[in-house]
Chain A
Amino acid sequence: MITGLFLSVFILAAESGSIIDVDPGVVFWTVITFIVLLIILKKFAWKPILTALDQRENAIRESLDKAEKAKLDAQNVLEQNQASLAKAEEESKKIVEQSRQYAEKLKDQILQDSRDQARKMIDEASNEIERKKDAALDELKTQVAEIAIKAAEKILKENLNEEMQKKIVNKYIGEITKN
């Protein structure tokens, strides 16, 4: 039944007023409609939309490029930072080493200096002591001599009388005359 239905559809179509008839009026209006539609849409829809899409595409591409560049820059900065950090660390190590050496040297030198000074001071002190001792001894000697002379004088003054003095003088005169 369905086959018959279809067959009769196409038989009818082939007869008067079929669906395959091209109505020139419809062609005319379709062409006009399509062209008007094309003009309107081109001006008010496709142009803004396509421009916007292009702009967005470019914007995305630019941002991606920028991001890539920023990433590279960041990488470079990071590497630089790391390099300078390493350099700084090395330098600080060097400085610490240097200062340690310097401190060591300074310590040695100070130690040496103080030792020398101490020795010098000890030497000076012993010299001074020696000198003081000598002076004291000298003074002692003179004082002892003076005391001895005074004592001798005292003894002489008490024991030497006129007779004794004459005897002694005579004795010396006799010796002189003998010579």
Chain B
Amino acid sequence: MMPDTVKALTAADTLKKTAESNSDPSWIMHHVMDSNQISFGPLGSLTLPHLQLFGFNISITRDIFIMWFVSAVLVILLLIAAKGYKKSLVPKGLSNFFEVIIDFVKNEIVKPAIGKGYEPYMPYMLTLFFFILFCNMFGLIPLPNLVVVTGNVAVTASLAIISFIVIQYTGMKQHGVMKYLKSLVPSGMPVMIIPIMAVIELIGLFTKPFALCIRLFANMVAGHIVIFSLLGLIFIMHTIYVAPVSVGFTLFIEMLEILVALIQAYVFTMLTALFIGMAKHIEH
């Protein structure tokens, strides 16, 4: 039931879904959720193959495809930026743009949060920051396929798992496994409380990355749901007069999302750096 006029898939799909039932919002979830279809607007769509490994479904989905696309763009841009330094140490153009962000990550996030010995973490922190930032930013481009990759909870969960591993590895490498695990329970506690504290601290250990995962995912997906909801009002109310209001609010939310995209990239990197710093310099 495709419309004859060439329209963005979003609009076409929305029309289709709203035509079926008036107030069924499943089309919103349809846009926000991952799928194994990559559509090229009016040119049709591509169904990605199904892959299986050790009984797990490791099909390449739309989000993964977009993630690869974003990563490729990131790699190309950064290679161009890095090439600029080969000619002279004075930055120019793209190098200048990236240098500001790299300098910000280095001097405002990693250096204060991790402290001495922060250098080995720089590549990881920079990759994390730029990956999240680029995924967030690409998600804001209103093209049918450019979904916000960080709005997929599995992606943010993966990033959080990597953060968790890096944090724990840092703590164990710095202080030795036993001493690190011992340091999780505050010293000077009555013996009776130690088991309870141990459980609480252990839960706290996993809460940190969990919070990282949910924070990024929720922030990114919420904005998109709000935008779809606002636009959906036009079709639910069956009137064109609500369009200016919807579009106005959407524009506002979109601008807010630019801010949120930056802030969330900053927050995720900042908190990871902070947790690494905490694992590195155990108090008590």
Q: Which secondary structure characterizes the binding site on chain B?
A: helix
User: Contacts of A20 on B, CB cut-off 8 Å?
Assistant: 153
CB distance from A26 to the nearest CB of B (A): 4
A31 to nearest B CB, angstroms?
A: 5
Is the CB–CB distance between B127 and A42 below 8 Å? Answer: yes
Interface pair A34/B86, CB less than 8 Å apart: no
Taken residue by residue from 22 to 47, chain B's Cβ proximity to chain A (1 for < 8 Å, 0 otherwise) reads as: 01111011001110000000000000
Please pick, from B29, B127, B131, the residue contacting A12 in the complex, using a CB distance under 8 A.
B29
Residue contact B51 to A25, C-beta cutoff 8 Å: yes
| Nearest CB in chain A: distance from B125 CB, A | 10
CB–CB B25/A12 < 8 A: yes
Encoded as 1 (CB less than 8 Å from any B CB) or 0, chain A from 18 to 52 comes to: 11111111111111011101101110111111101
Q: Which residue of A lies closest to B127 (CB)?
A: A38
Q: Inside 8 A of B131's CB, which chain A residues have their CB?
A: 34, 37
Q: Does A164 contact B (CB under 8 A)?
A: no
A27–B158 touching, CB < 8 Å: yes
A33 touches B67 (CB 8 A): yes
Please name the residue on chain B nearest to A1 by beta carbon: B236
**Does A174 make an interface contact (CB < 8 A)?**
no
Q: Kindly list chain B residues whose C-beta atoms are within 8 Å of the C-beta of A44.
A: 75, 78-79, 82
Give the complex CA separation of A5 and B26 in angstroms.
10
Q: Is the CB of B75 within 8 A of A31?
A: no
In whole Å, how far is B253's beta carbon from the nearest beta carbon of chain A?
13
Query: Is the pair A37, B71 in contact by a Cβ cutoff of 8 Å?
Result: yes
A177 CB to nearest chain B CB (Å): 156
Shortest B62–chain A CB gap in Å is 10
Q: CB distance B58 to A24 under 8 Å? A: yes
Whether the Cβ atoms of A53 and B161 lie closer than 8 Å is no
Residues from chain B with Cβ under 8 Å of A53 in the complex: 99, 102-103, 106
Most buried by B among A45, A53, A55: A45
B63-84 interface code vs A (CB 8 A; 1 in, 0 out): 1100110010011001101100
Instruction: Determine how close the nearest CB of chain A comes to the CB of B66; give it in whole angstroms.
Output: 11
Cα–Cα, bound, A94→B228 (Å): 97
Q: A residues within 8 A CB of B59?
A: 25
Asked if B157 CB lies within 8 Å of chain A CBs, one says yes
Q: Which residues of B contact A21 (CB under 8 A)?
A: 153-154
Q: Are B162 and A31 within 8 A (Cβ)? A: yes
Residue among A19, A38, A41, A56 making CB contact with B32, cutoff 8 Å:
A19
In the complex, how many angstroms separate the beta carbon of B181 from the nearest chain A beta carbon?
25
- Most chain A beta-carbon neighbours within 10 Å: one of B78, B161, B233: B78
Nearest CB on A from B130, distance (A): 8
Interface flag for A176 (CB, 8 Å): no
* Interface residues in B83-117 (C-beta closer than 8 Å to A): 85-86, 89, 95, 98-99, 102-103, 106
- Please give the residue numbers on chain B whose beta carbons come within 8 Å of chain A beta carbons, in ascending order: 23-26, 28-29, 32-34, 51, 53, 56-61, 63-64, 67-68, 71, 74-75, 78-79, 81-82, 85-86, 89, 95, 98-99, 102-103, 106, 122-124, 126-127, 130-131, 151-155, 157-159, 161-162, 221, 225, 229, 232-233, 236
Residues of A within 8 A of B (CB): 1-2, 4-6, 8-9, 12-13, 17-31, 33-35, 37-38, 40-42, 44-50, 52-53, 55-56, 59
Question: Knowing that A9-B28, A19-B33, A53-B99 are A-B contacts, what are 10 other residue pairs whose CB atoms are under 8 Å apart, sorted by A's residue number?
Answer: A5-B229, A8-B25, A9-B25, A23-B34, A29-B64, A33-B68, A41-B78, A41-B127, A45-B75, A45-B82
